[in-house]
């Protein structure tokens, strides 16, 4: 009986970890497909885009001051010249891409 419980626990752990890895890959993939062209591969945008669109780098203090919820709302609804993505991405994809972008702040 204890061997069965250990096997089930190990299987559950593997499934949870694979889900976390998949979630991280989804955020990076979504960011690269939808966000990177303006926000840059490393969160540092092209100077021409920054000037034309008003995009700030991930390391900018004003960007760092925004909460994840604020960034999710901006991504979903748009802000300034940034278009809304709520009709193009699921809530999970928006959250995952914001989480990935926030990881570039460091």
Q: What is the CATH number of the domain that holds 91?
A: 1.10.760.10
Provide the number of structural domains found in the chain. Answer: 1
Phi and psi, residue 83, nearest 5°: -75, 160
pTM (two decimals): 0.73
pLDDT for 21 equals 44
pLDDT for 25 equals 62
| Residues of the domain holding 52 | 2-103
Higher pLDDT, 53 or 105: 53
Residue 79: strand pairing partners: 82
Give per-residue pLDDT as tens, 35-55: 999 999 999 988 888 888 889
**Nearest in space to 103 (alpha carbons), one of 37, 59, 50, 54:** 59
**Nearest in space to 37 (alpha carbons), one of 21, 22, 23, 52:** 52
Look at residue 19 and tell me whether its pLDDT is greater than 60.
Answer: no
């Amino acid at each position: 009986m204890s061997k069965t419980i250990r096997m089930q626990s190990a299987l559950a752990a593997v499934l949870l970890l694979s889900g976390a890895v998949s979630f991280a890959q989804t955020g990076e993939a979504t960011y690269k497909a939808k966000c990177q062209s303006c926000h840059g591969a490393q969160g540092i945008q092209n100077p021409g885009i920054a000037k034309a669109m008003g995009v700030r780098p991930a390391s900018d203090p004003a960007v760092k001051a925004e909460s994840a919820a604020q960034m999710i709302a901006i991504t979903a609804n748009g802000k300034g010249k940034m278009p809304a993505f709520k009709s193009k991405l699921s809530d999970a994809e928006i959250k995952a891409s914001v989480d990935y972008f926030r990881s570039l702040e460091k």
